[in-house]
Protein backbone atom coordinates (compact mmCIF):
# COMPACT_ATOMS: atom_id res chain seq x y z
CA UNK A 1 0.00 0.00 0.00
CA UNK A 2 1.52 3.32 -0.94
CA UNK A 3 1.78 6.12 1.60
CA UNK A 4 -0.47 8.59 -0.28
CA UNK A 5 -3.29 6.06 -0.52
CA UNK A 6 -2.98 5.27 3.19
CA UNK A 7 -3.00 8.94 4.22
CA UNK A 8 -5.90 9.88 1.92
CA UNK A 9 -7.91 6.90 3.15
CA UNK A 10 -7.24 7.81 6.79
CA UNK A 11 -8.28 11.43 6.15
CA UNK A 12 -11.46 10.33 4.36
CA UNK A 13 -12.43 7.95 7.18
CA UNK A 14 -11.72 10.62 9.77
CA UNK A 15 -13.83 13.14 7.86
CA UNK A 16 -16.76 10.72 7.64
CA UNK A 17 -16.49 9.97 11.37
CA UNK A 18 -16.38 13.67 12.27
CA UNK A 19 -19.11 14.58 9.77
CA UNK A 20 -21.44 11.87 11.10
CA UNK A 21 -21.44 13.58 14.52
CA UNK A 22 -22.86 16.81 13.08
CA UNK A 23 -26.66 17.16 12.77
CA UNK A 24 -26.57 16.98 8.98
CA UNK A 25 -24.10 14.09 9.12
CA UNK A 26 -26.33 12.21 11.52
CA UNK A 27 -29.17 12.65 9.04
CA UNK A 28 -27.10 11.28 6.18
CA UNK A 29 -25.34 8.43 8.02
CA UNK A 30 -28.05 7.20 10.40
CA UNK A 31 -30.46 4.40 9.65
CA UNK A 32 -34.12 5.42 9.23
CA UNK A 33 -35.89 5.59 12.57
CA UNK A 34 -32.72 6.34 14.52
CA UNK A 35 -32.93 10.10 13.99
CA UNK A 36 -33.62 12.39 16.92
CA UNK A 37 -35.10 15.83 17.10
CA UNK A 38 -33.62 18.57 19.27
CA UNK A 39 -35.46 17.21 22.32
CA UNK A 40 -34.04 13.68 21.98
CA UNK A 41 -37.27 12.19 20.64
CA UNK A 42 -37.32 9.66 17.83
CA UNK A 43 -38.53 11.11 14.55
CA UNK A 44 -40.92 9.21 12.31
CA UNK A 45 -39.40 6.30 10.45
CA UNK A 46 -38.84 6.80 6.76
CA UNK A 47 -41.72 6.21 4.35
CA UNK A 48 -39.92 3.11 3.08
CA UNK A 49 -39.67 1.60 6.60
CA UNK A 50 -43.35 2.34 7.25
CA UNK A 51 -44.30 0.76 3.93
CA UNK A 52 -42.19 -2.32 4.70
CA UNK A 53 -43.79 -2.81 8.11
CA UNK A 54 -47.27 -2.27 6.66
CA UNK A 55 -46.59 -4.81 3.94
CA UNK A 56 -45.91 -7.37 6.67
CA UNK A 57 -49.29 -6.63 8.23
CA UNK A 58 -48.05 -4.30 10.97
CA UNK A 59 -49.76 -0.94 10.92
CA UNK A 60 -47.71 1.79 12.62
CA UNK A 61 -49.06 3.52 15.72
CA UNK A 62 -47.88 7.08 16.24
CA UNK A 63 -48.84 9.39 19.08
CA UNK A 64 -47.58 12.64 20.51
CA UNK A 65 -45.59 12.62 23.74
CA UNK A 66 -48.66 13.99 25.53
CA UNK A 67 -50.79 11.13 24.19
CA UNK A 68 -48.20 8.54 25.30
CA UNK A 69 -48.04 10.15 28.75
CA UNK A 70 -51.83 9.93 29.06
CA UNK A 71 -51.90 6.15 28.48
CA UNK A 72 -48.63 5.03 30.11
CA UNK A 73 -47.52 5.18 33.74
CA UNK A 74 -44.48 7.40 34.38
CA UNK A 75 -42.23 4.33 34.63
CA UNK A 76 -43.66 2.82 31.42
CA UNK A 77 -43.19 6.16 29.64
CA UNK A 78 -39.59 6.44 30.87
CA UNK A 79 -38.69 2.99 29.58
CA UNK A 80 -40.69 2.83 26.34
CA UNK A 81 -40.41 6.42 25.11
CA UNK A 82 -37.18 7.65 26.76
CA UNK A 83 -35.22 4.37 26.57
CA UNK A 84 -34.94 3.98 30.33
CA UNK A 85 -34.27 0.75 32.20
CA UNK A 86 -36.24 -0.64 35.12
CA UNK A 87 -34.43 -1.93 38.21
CA UNK A 88 -33.44 -5.60 37.91
CA UNK A 89 -35.64 -8.13 39.78
CA UNK A 90 -38.43 -5.52 40.09
CA UNK A 91 -40.79 -6.89 37.44
CA UNK A 92 -43.64 -9.21 38.44
CA UNK A 93 -43.34 -10.67 34.90
CA UNK A 94 -40.20 -12.51 36.07
CA UNK A 95 -42.45 -14.83 38.10
CA UNK A 96 -44.98 -15.63 35.37
CA UNK A 97 -44.76 -19.26 34.30
CA UNK A 98 -48.23 -19.65 32.77
CA UNK A 99 -48.95 -20.07 29.07
CA UNK A 100 -49.69 -16.84 27.26
CA UNK A 101 -48.35 -13.96 25.24
CA UNK A 102 -46.23 -10.98 26.27
CA UNK A 103 -47.47 -7.88 24.43
CA UNK A 104 -46.15 -4.35 24.02
CA UNK A 105 -47.57 -2.30 26.89
CA UNK A 106 -48.05 0.71 24.60
CA UNK A 107 -49.78 -0.81 21.55
CA UNK A 108 -50.56 -4.44 22.48
CA UNK A 109 -48.59 -5.97 19.60
CA UNK A 110 -47.82 -9.62 20.50
CA UNK A 111 -44.06 -9.82 21.01
CA UNK A 112 -43.04 -12.97 22.90
CA UNK A 113 -44.66 -16.33 23.61
CA UNK A 114 -44.29 -17.63 27.16
CA UNK A 115 -42.87 -20.85 25.66
CA UNK A 116 -39.74 -18.87 24.67
CA UNK A 117 -39.31 -17.39 28.18
CA UNK A 118 -36.44 -18.57 30.36
CA UNK A 119 -34.79 -17.54 33.63
CA UNK A 120 -31.58 -15.79 32.63
CA UNK A 121 -30.70 -14.82 36.20
CA UNK A 122 -30.31 -11.19 35.10
CA UNK A 123 -33.43 -9.86 36.83
CA UNK A 124 -35.35 -9.01 33.64
CA UNK A 125 -37.82 -11.16 31.70
CA UNK A 126 -35.81 -13.00 29.05
CA UNK A 127 -36.82 -14.81 25.88
CA UNK A 128 -34.82 -16.74 23.28
CA UNK A 129 -36.92 -15.48 20.32
CA UNK A 130 -39.81 -13.14 19.49
CA UNK A 131 -43.18 -14.46 18.30
CA UNK A 132 -42.38 -13.13 14.82
CA UNK A 133 -39.15 -11.47 13.72
CA UNK A 134 -41.14 -8.67 12.02
CA UNK A 135 -42.80 -7.72 15.35
CA UNK A 136 -39.55 -6.29 16.68
CA UNK A 137 -36.85 -4.12 15.18
CA UNK A 138 -33.23 -4.30 16.23
CA UNK A 139 -31.13 -1.14 16.21
CA UNK A 140 -27.55 -0.33 17.18
CA UNK A 141 -27.33 1.30 20.62
CA UNK A 142 -24.07 3.13 21.36
CA UNK A 143 -25.29 4.77 24.58
CA UNK A 144 -22.85 2.88 26.84
CA UNK A 145 -19.19 1.91 26.61
CA UNK A 146 -19.91 -0.78 24.02
CA UNK A 147 -22.33 -1.22 21.14
CA UNK A 148 -25.44 -3.20 22.04
CA UNK A 149 -28.46 -4.25 20.02
CA UNK A 150 -31.61 -2.43 21.11
CA UNK A 151 -35.00 -4.10 20.61
CA UNK A 152 -38.01 -1.89 19.79
CA UNK A 153 -41.65 -2.65 19.04
CA UNK A 154 -42.24 -2.68 15.28
CA UNK A 155 -45.68 -1.08 15.64
CA UNK A 156 -45.05 1.87 17.98
CA UNK A 157 -41.25 2.10 18.29
CA UNK A 158 -41.35 1.54 22.05
CA UNK A 159 -37.99 0.66 23.59
CA UNK A 160 -38.28 -2.87 24.99
CA UNK A 161 -34.74 -3.83 25.98
CA UNK A 162 -31.71 -5.40 24.32
CA UNK A 163 -30.76 -8.70 22.71
CA UNK A 164 -27.51 -10.50 23.52
CA UNK A 165 -25.80 -13.55 21.97
CA UNK A 166 -25.61 -15.53 25.24
CA UNK A 167 -29.01 -17.22 25.36
CA UNK A 168 -30.06 -20.87 25.32
CA UNK A 169 -30.74 -23.16 22.38
CA UNK A 170 -32.28 -23.19 19.86
CA UNK A 171 -31.35 -19.57 18.98
CA UNK A 172 -28.50 -18.77 21.36
CA UNK A 173 -30.10 -15.34 21.87
CA UNK A 174 -31.26 -13.60 25.05
CA UNK A 175 -33.92 -10.96 24.51
CA UNK A 176 -33.54 -9.16 27.84
CA UNK A 177 -36.72 -7.08 28.13
CA UNK A 178 -37.92 -4.46 30.58
CA UNK A 179 -40.99 -5.88 32.31
CA UNK A 180 -42.74 -2.48 32.36
CA UNK A 181 -42.54 -2.42 28.54
CA UNK A 182 -44.59 -5.63 28.38
CA UNK A 183 -47.92 -6.91 29.58
CA UNK A 184 -48.96 -10.53 29.89
CA UNK A 185 -52.09 -11.93 28.25
CA UNK A 186 -52.87 -15.36 29.64
CA UNK A 187 -54.11 -17.97 27.16
CA UNK A 188 -57.91 -18.13 27.26
CA UNK A 189 -57.95 -21.94 27.63
CA UNK A 190 -55.71 -21.66 30.72
CA UNK A 191 -58.05 -19.20 32.47
Residues designated catalytic: 176
Whether the CB-CB separation of 176 and 120 falls below 8 Å is answered with: yes
How far apart are the C-alpha atoms of 23 and 35, rounded to whole Å? 10
126-129: long-range contacts, CB 8 A cutoff, minimum separation 24: 126/167, 126/174, 126/175, 126/176, 126/177, 127/102, 127/174, 127/175, 127/177, 128/167, 128/168, 128/169, 128/170, 128/171, 128/172, 128/173, 128/174, 128/175, 129/170, 129/171, 129/173, 129/175
d(CA 135, CA 16): 33
Closest by CA position to 160, among listed 141, 189, 180: 180
What residues contact 60, with CB distance under 8 A and at least 6 apart? 45, 50, 53, 54, 155, 156
Amino acid sequence: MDRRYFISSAVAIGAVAAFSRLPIGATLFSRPGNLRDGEGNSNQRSARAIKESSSKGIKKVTKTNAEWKSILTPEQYNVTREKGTERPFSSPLNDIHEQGIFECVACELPLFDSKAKFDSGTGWPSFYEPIAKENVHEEVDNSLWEARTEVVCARCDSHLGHVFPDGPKPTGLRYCMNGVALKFAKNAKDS
